[in-house]
Structure 1
């Protein structure tokens, strides 16, 4: 995906938001005034920091740049200044809002804002690995405690709050070959048989 289109959608969204502001009411330090278009190298750095945060959790975003000895880590400080990261984060976008289809329309996509990521991951999962014979389909939870219409609570899971995924995996290694996100879309059946057939469709009748 070339780091989400070289940041084109982020830059487009930033221009849209910034142009809607009354700059006379903004301080000189406002990110709406200091914004500079993001480039490919910065998008790679931004994604790297996001991945780092996923495996090295800290209390707040600001703690990744703190010099405090109890919380200090050098990775983020070396990759990108904190203010630049927060600026990109404020405008981060991977889809064009003008292509959004309203909720009451037949082709509305509930996960429109992250659809390119899901599509890209599924394409790469299949491109980079030859799936073994034995496969399984299961649920997975992505931990998340923020506010989202897609966040759910599953009291019997080790991770009780977050986003639910349905995954087609290789039984032996656990390699994820395909996934889809549960989003309570009434137009798409979430019956186990229908989920199974959707995920299995690319490998049906191929010896698995």
Structure 2
């Protein structure tokens, strides 16, 4: 038996049921970790003077945290389900629904992509050299410009992403916009986007649905008017 299997077996043998209070502490630790970054997970519980952060040990022991982390599942392990997010699908769907219904946005909205840092093994992990993190998972998000609040998001997993095909010749970027802004059409909102999304077809589609739009453009985009070099 290898060491990994031994650790899993030891965790199973040492397992004891958790409760709401302990799970709140577990989530609190997970959210606190980016505020006190370490080079390795076990360093959050280190007693070395140069790296120790006592609050983590006061919340929960290292072994208990690692045991819960190893056992944490949000759905059954169903092989070949066809959904690349099936292991976290309940969480993703719950967050999207909660974000949409928590805030009524102001007039100005913005759609852009965000690269969430991830260096592990993942089929749909992306590499974007222009981003600060470079490796990670792409999220397409729609935000309220006044507050910066995320109203909805799409996790990009490739061809099976949660993107609705509007059959309006909008292209992939246009379909992303139409999916995210669907709940805010016909209400007089103004959308701001960058040149990857901007196109005459998309802006006409939005205008027909009482939604104004503004964004930088690419001269090479289909149906764009002829422009000078500058």
TM-score bracket for this pair, using the shorter chain length: 0.7 to 0.9
Q: Is the 8 A contact 1:101 1:109 kept in 2?
A: no
Inter-partner Cα distance in structure 2 for 1:206 and 1:59: 48
Q: How many Å apart are 1:200 and its aligned residue? A: 0.8
Inter-partner Cα distance in structure 2 for 1:186 and 1:77: 41
Q: How many Å apart are 1:186 and its aligned residue? A: 4.4
Inter-partner Cα distance in structure 1 for 2:50 and 2:174: 50
Q: Is the 8 A contact 1:118 1:180 kept in 2?
A: no
What's the RMSD between the two structures over aligned residues?
2.3
Inter-partner Cα distance in structure 1 for 2:61 and 2:108: 46
Q: Deviations over 1:103-140 (max 9, x none)?
A: 5xxxx321111112222222222232220111111000
**Which residue is 2:139 aligned to?**
165
**Which residue is 1:141 aligned to?**
115
Change (3 A) 1:155 1:59: same
What's the TM-score once normalised by structure 2's chain length? 0.71
Gaps of 5+ in 1: 1-20
Inter-partner Cα distance in structure 1 for 2:132 and 2:102: 30
Inter-partner Cα distance in structure 2 for 1:176 and 1:60: 30
Are positions 1:102 and 2:83 aligned together? no
Inter-partner Cα distance in structure 1 for 2:63 and 2:160: 41
Inter-partner Cα distance in structure 2 for 1:95 and 1:70: 39
Gaps of 5+ in 2: 166-170, 190-230
From 141, 147, 158, the counterpart of 1:184? 158
**Which residue is 1:204 aligned to?**
185
**Which residue is 2:45 aligned to?**
65
Q: Is the 8 A contact 2:83 2:160 kept in 1?
A: no
**Which residue is 2:89 aligned to?**
115
Inter-partner Cα distance in structure 1 for 2:123 and 2:23: 27
Which structure's relative contact order is higher, taking Cα pairs within 8 Å and 6+ residues apart? Answer: 1
Structure possessing the higher radius of gyration over alpha carbons: 2
Q: Is the 8 A contact 1:166 1:182 kept in 2?
A: yes
Length, aligned pairs only = 178
Q: When you count helix as a share of all residues, which structure comes out higher? A: 1
Matches within 5 A, 1:4-19: none
What's the TM-score once normalised by structure 1's chain length? 0.78
Inter-partner Cα distance in structure 2 for 1:141 and 1:131: 23
Partner SS for 1:124: helix
Change (3 A) 1:134 1:161: same
